[in-house]
Amino acid sequence: MKSQTHKMTVSIDEHSSHLDPFKDFYKQLDDEGRTIEKLSRQRVEDYQLKAVNATLAHVWNKNEYYRSQLEEAGFKEPRIESLDQLASVPLLKKDVIRGDKQKILSVDPKDIGQVHLTSGTSGKPIYTAYTLADQYIYDLLPKYLDIFKESDEDVAAIALPYEFALPGLGFQRLFQFAFGTGVLSLGKGGYMAPVDKSLELMKEYQATVLATTPSYAALLVEQSEKYGIRIGEDIRLKKIWLTGEGCSSTFRERLEKWWGCEVSFFYGSTECGGVGVECSEHRGYHVMEGHVKVEIIDPVTEKPLPYGKTGEIIVTTLLREGMPMVRYRSGDMGYLQKSRCTCGITMDVLHLRGRMESMLRLNGEDYSPFLLEHFLMEIPDVGMWYHFKLNQGVLKIEAEPFRTPLSDEQLAAKIRKHMADRIGIDCQVEIRHDIPRSFGKATRVFN
């Protein structure tokens, strides 16, 4: 019942949960003047083991499904002795939670602060429930200040979906609350935010940071010419964060050239939040080890794979009370490496290899679309919009020309030769001038 008072009804300052010890952990780091990014492996692993155990205890006590799964796997108590033992905890599959808003909910429904949905192009969505404390305390506890340079001096334009999914609001909270950055909530091609108005707002408020998807970053820069907005003069960015879709390093470098600023990737999902982020070396994603424990498994045998071996990315969230993800099968492929990064960050490095279902099978081998994109983007005469179509084992590339003196026939021949040289694949090429621009997730692969 609401009390008769002008105080806020909800105070997250007084909130208490199984995650309280981790507030102390980050307070301790503050006192030492450090972040989790450059801690010793021992200290990070101690933290992660404690956080995994706190999460296991929480879901054991608060969620029937998780508890029954753990009991079936032989757990007498919700506890592992080492991070290696995490492999004995049952995996969480998408199909189990798809369309089911209760299955892994681990708080009283009245404590839900916000619900996000996956975009779910096929079938039912996956619901993710956050408490207010998840959003405004726990999710913002670990900061990665060596990676994120944003401050209250910056203005961040967020051109990511705000409807249903996490990205728009997630980046908004991060910038506003963790860094004090001013925010322009552009959204992405929505009814209220056409491209020209979005560019105009970035110009008026002198945006210094842009968070968006690779294809939308390309669309904005492409459309700026049409609206007479000069990138580098009217809009001068310091940094672009890309998320939502993967892309190759060559695509990223093109965006850097066009926008005249550094472009980095952020890897996350609506279910798990932030998972990995690129430092300025751009040699893979440092795992956000304050937020998640990442493992790689063989998708068929479900056995853990060592560093260097490509498999499915498994994520366990460490700082969630509403709906913790325990050994969640992301469906994304990649491999882990120990960090030897010259940036000095000790957090493991994750290399993404795309989604399992979007691999292209050519000559009996699986090819990541990003790898093919990488080779295609090596050709400067090719634009940023393309399709890969697979038809009875034959790859057809539809590409647009970009500021090239070559005729369509010459360009098609050049692409065919380049792809044959680079990966030994004979492909068909069609040069098009009308590849549709996308406001949603860009569809580039037709399998």
| List of residues contacting Zn ion (CB under 5 A) | 279, 281, 341, 343, 345
Mutual angle of helices 195-204 and 214-226, in 10-degree steps: 80
Query: What is the C-alpha separation between 2 and 133, in angstroms, rounded?
Result: 20
With respect to Zn ion, which residue has the nearer C-beta, 290 or 369? 290
- CB-CB contact of 196 with 227 (8 Å): yes
Mutual angle of helices 20-32 and 41-62, in 10-degree steps: 160
Task: List, in order, residues 6 or more apart from 181 with CB less than 8 Å away.
Answer: 150, 151, 152, 154, 155, 156, 175, 209
CA-angle at 227, arms to 224 and 230, nearest 5°: 50
Shortest distance in whole angstroms from residue 145 CB to Zn ion: 14
Q: Which of 300, 297, 301 has its CA nearest to residue 327?
A: 297
Shortest distance in whole angstroms from residue 264 CB to Zn ion: 11
With respect to Zn ion, which residue has the nearer C-beta, 185 or 280? 280
Residue 169, both tokens:
């609001």
Shortest distance in whole angstroms from residue 28 CB to Zn ion: 24
- CB-CB contact of 240 with 259 (8 Å): yes
Shortest distance in whole angstroms from residue 345 CB to Zn ion: 5
- CB-CB contact of 404 with 411 (8 Å): yes
Cα radius of gyration rounded to whole Å, the chain: 23
Query: What is the C-alpha separation between 211 and 229, in angstroms, rounded?
Result: 19
Query: What is the C-alpha separation between 143 and 8, in angstroms, rounded?
Result: 27
With respect to Zn ion, which residue has the nearer C-beta, 337 or 404? 337
Shortest distance in whole angstroms from residue 138 CB to Zn ion: 25
With respect to Zn ion, which residue has the nearer C-beta, 160 or 350? 350
Identify the helix (H) or strand (E) that includes residue 198: helix 195-204
Shortest distance in whole angstroms from residue 87 CB to Zn ion: 27
With respect to Zn ion, which residue has the nearer C-beta, 111 or 289? 289
Shortest distance in whole angstroms from residue 75 CB to Zn ion: 36
| Number of H-type helices and E-type strands within the chain | 12, 19
Shortest distance in whole angstroms from residue 339 CB to Zn ion: 7
With respect to Zn ion, which residue has the nearer C-beta, 274 or 324? 274
The length of the chain, given as a count of residues: 447
**Residue reference for tokens 């672009």:** 240
Output the CA torsion 47→50→51→53 (10° steps). 160
Give me the DSSP letters along 417-434: HHHHHHH---EEEEE-S-
With respect to Zn ion, which residue has the nearer C-beta, 145 or 341? 341
Shortest distance in whole angstroms from residue 277 CB to Zn ion: 10
Provide, for the chain, the percentages of residues in helix, strand and coil under a 3-state DSSP scheme, each rounded to the nearest 5. 35, 25, 40
Shortest distance in whole angstroms from residue 51 CB to Zn ion: 23
With respect to Zn ion, which residue has the nearer C-beta, 95 or 281? 281
With respect to Zn ion, which residue has the nearer C-beta, 4 or 40? 40
With respect to Zn ion, which residue has the nearer C-beta, 40 or 392? 40
- CB-CB contact of 186 with 201 (8 Å): yes
With respect to Zn ion, which residue has the nearer C-beta, 286 or 387? 286
Shortest distance in whole angstroms from residue 276 CB to Zn ion: 11
Shortest distance in whole angstroms from residue 351 CB to Zn ion: 13
Give me the DSSP letters along 147-167: T----TT-EEEEES--SSSSH
Q: Which of 191, 141, 136, 134 has its CA nearest to residue 161?
A: 191
With respect to Zn ion, which residue has the nearer C-beta, 216 or 285? 285
